[in-house]
Structure 1
Amino acid sequence: MAKPTPSLTVALLQAREAAMGFFRPLLNEYGLTEQQWRVIRILKEVPEHQLESRDLAEIACILRPSLTGVLVRLEKTGYVKRWKPANDQRRLCVSLTEEGHRLFDAMSGDMHKQYRRIKRQLGADNYKTLMALLDQLQRVEP
């Protein structure tokens, strides 16, 4: 049976699912959701390992109400800390705890191994092209 040609959005979703197939087993092993790992990874990679929650939501592509639940669970496990700056109680900041750093360090080797598997299967040039095209797509004006 012939497969219908997917729309761009469906193709992107299917590609995301294919990519996540490399990472889900590891996330499950550590008891993390995709969103929780995304938050930990982003906080690990930003200077000072902290962000305002609204910026974190935007970077992580998680709706702010959904991010609240993700952060509550990560805070309960000790991976992040939420706090309000003394100079502006309206802002909510999120930082990675020492436990969060340890978790990231424990997982990062296996995560990088999965990225290498993807690059090997796609080929280095195709991987680089894919990432460049995705970056360009993000900058397309609606």
Structure 2
Amino acid sequence: MSLLRAREAVMRHFRASLRSHGVTEQQWRVLRALSSVGEIEIADLVRSTFLLAPSLSRILRDLEARGLIARRTPARDLRRSLISIAPSGVALMEEIAPQSEAIYAEITARFGAERLAQLQDMLRDLEREMTAFGPGDAGDVGEEA
């Protein structure tokens, strides 16, 4: 519960900015993940965004309809689908970035750069330990992870 409360306290500051640009938290998560790769398969995007496949499918459909992402099917394997961020998606990210960076700066100022770095290290350690502990129940991975 402590992790969820902390996440909610942080995300509360980002929601208004995202909403003003017509983007949900989950859509933003997908755009951020896509911005760091050229193209990615849907299964890999599920893993990197911690979204359930049915939810990701809906999110991708919405982002594609808005022209923020591109989807292509490789000719050599029509069962696969590759997703990439479209130029308009990059432009939207660049538009939102200054607001996000200002929020990150405020969080750093309030919490302290050293404490924030320690927290990030500790969260990475927790993730690594829990991953090493075992896979858990794949059905537990949700949109609020």
Q: TM-score, normalised by structure 2?
A: 0.87
List gaps (5 residues or longer) in structure 1.
1-9
Q: Which residue of 1 aligns with 2:42?
A: 53
1:138 Cα offset (Å): 1.1
What are the equivalent positions in structure 2 for 1:13-52 lying under 5 Å apart? 13-46=4-37, 48=38, 50-52=39-41
What are the equivalent positions in structure 2 for 1:1-142 lying under 5 Å apart? 10-46=1-37, 48=38, 50-140=39-129, 141-142=132-133
Higher relative contact order (CA 8 A, sep 6+): 2
Per-residue CA distance 1:56-99 (angstroms, 9 max, x = gap): 11100001111000000000111011221112222111111111
1:100 Cα offset (Å): 0.5
Q: TM-score, normalised by structure 1?
A: 0.89
Classify the secondary structure of the residue corresponding to 2:46.
Answer: helix
Q: Which residue of 2 aligns with 1:5?
A: none
List gaps (5 residues or longer) in structure 2.
134-145
Moved segments of 4+, more than 4 Å:
none
Aligned residues: 131
My pick for the range that moved more, 25-34 or 80-89, is: 80-89
